[in-house]
Amino acid sequence: MECTFSLFSRQSHSVNQNEPGYMRIHLPIQAQKRIMCSSMLRVINAPSAVLSEKAKSVKKVDAAILELLKEMEDTLDNAKDPEGVGLAAPQVGKSLQIFIVRQEKKSPLLTFINPVIEVVTDSEKAKTLKRKAKKKSVKLEGCLSLQDIWGTVKRHPSVVLDYMDEKGVQHTKKFSGFLATIIQHEVDHLNGILFPKHVLEQKGELYKSSKNKNGETIFEELTI
């Protein structure tokens, strides 16, 4: 099964320089800058009020918004097992109409501020392709705010989105495929919706993931 949209949190620790075995490590300047600039945010888990309310519009892209975007980028880029592909501001405790997307590790980071989505009606061709794809494999949608929970969600194959980027420039653009799925998932967050709501409405399936003794991810269907 293919799974997406997950994240992890990182813990810090302190070291006593007087303790036996302490060793000072000298890092290159660029490595020191990366460490100093890297700042991960705490991911909010459901249930939480910030995850169930409509986020507020961003009035302007100022220094505080740019700092938040950098922190969100650091958090997303450090996602592991599986790697994260999208992150919305409410998921880090900020009730703002912002989300970011990095579809693959080498993909450019996409920033969406005050997004308004217009769903493109599914064509007959798209419906046929979706039916064929369903026969081949099951794609599960997950969420870093709902750890180890996955579900089958029907999404539109393409969307048109009005949004502002990190420079304050307004855009209207069409997105298709997996990127359209990510965008719909993240826009839901800005409207206080978590994906299990769609699963229930669509009478889909929910699963809980865990690791077996070989470290492989396994999925157990939940009764809903």
Phi, psi of 110 (to 5 degrees): -105, 135
Please, what's the b/e burial string for 35-67 (b: 16 or more CB within 10 A of its CB; e: otherwise)?
eeeeebbebbeeeeebbeeebeebeebeeebee
216 counts as catalytic: no
Given 53, 104, 186, 216, the catalytic residue: 186
Number of Cβ within 10 Å of residue 90's Cβ equals: 28
Query: Would you call the peptide bond into 90 cis, given omega within 30 degrees of 0 as the criterion?
Result: no
Write out the catalytic residue numbers. Answer: 186
